[in-house]
Amino acid sequence: MKIILLHSIGGGNGVTTVTANLAAALQGLGHRCLAIDCTPDNLLALHFGVASDAVDGWARSASLSQSWVECGFEAMDGGRVLPFGMLDVESLATLRRNLTDKPKHIADICHALSGEPLDYLLLDFSAPLTGYCSAQFSALKDLADYSLLIARADLQSYRLLVSHPLGQQLLTDCEILLNAVKTENELQRDLLLVMRRELEHHLISNIIHHDAAVPEAFAHLQTLNSYAPNSAAALDFYLLAVWCVNKLAKVPS
């Protein structure tokens, strides 16, 4: 089983969307996948058709001192997801304190899954990399076989990746995927060229193009593979999945 950690340096870059659709694309290639939501937003499961009022998840189980084993869901297309779960403010605060004391909780779940018939485990870590999340992220970074930072071809991502100390730290051992790129936009085309020049050793060749089918699929609680398999973004995710398979084939088990 290979573990892929997907994360970002700032909000709004589409980490959850990329995680769900990459998992679906890998599943479409015949690989057995499980996506784990590592953030309190609890949005990842929606991409797999889980009802918005569903409350179960690994974090909710942890807050209730229960097992997370029965909290997974399987979509109609075979995609599988382990949600974060819904917590009230007090329970979330308690969980954060517990995770600060035990930063390897999610990593322990990954270890427990190592005996399962899975080819890929995808970790959606779209939370800010501060506080308790920082300790969790470090534990998962050490565990992951591959770390992929999701960014956009915009000034915010460019500045954070090039000038911010956290960006410099993150770039020591991860690669960058540019998401929702509008190649018809002149500013984004220019930024894409600048980022490819200044971050050439970190940017992977694949990009995910901006596509109206992406939010439409999410609104229908589906991945692109199910909702719009012939869309441009679905092709991008297929190519990304192939790229990841080839990349991780070189990583020792």
DSSP per-residue letters across 61-102 = HHHTT--SGGG-EE-TTS-EEE------HHHHHHHHHHHHH-
Question: What topology does CATH give the domain 2-248?
Answer: Rossmann fold (3.40.50)
pLDDT by 10-residue block (mean), the chain, 253 residues: 92 94 97 95 95 93 88 89 93 79 78 92 81 74 93 91 79 90 92 91 95 97 96 98 95 75
What's residue 129's pLDDT? Answer: 57
Residue 106 φ then ψ, to 5° = -65, -40
Supply the mean pLDDT for the chain. 90
pLDDT value of residue 218 = 97
Structural domain spans, the chain: 2-248
Query: Could you tell me the CA-to-CA distances from 24 to 128, 153, 175, 225 in Å, in that order?
Result: 25, 24, 21, 6
Q: % helix / strand / coil in the chain, to the nearest 5?
A: 45, 15, 35
pLDDT for the residue 65 = 84
Task: Compute CA distances 35 → 32, 47, 69, whole Å.
Answer: 10, 11, 14
Q: What is the DSSP letter of 41?
A: T
Contact (CB, 8 A) for 174 and 147:
yes
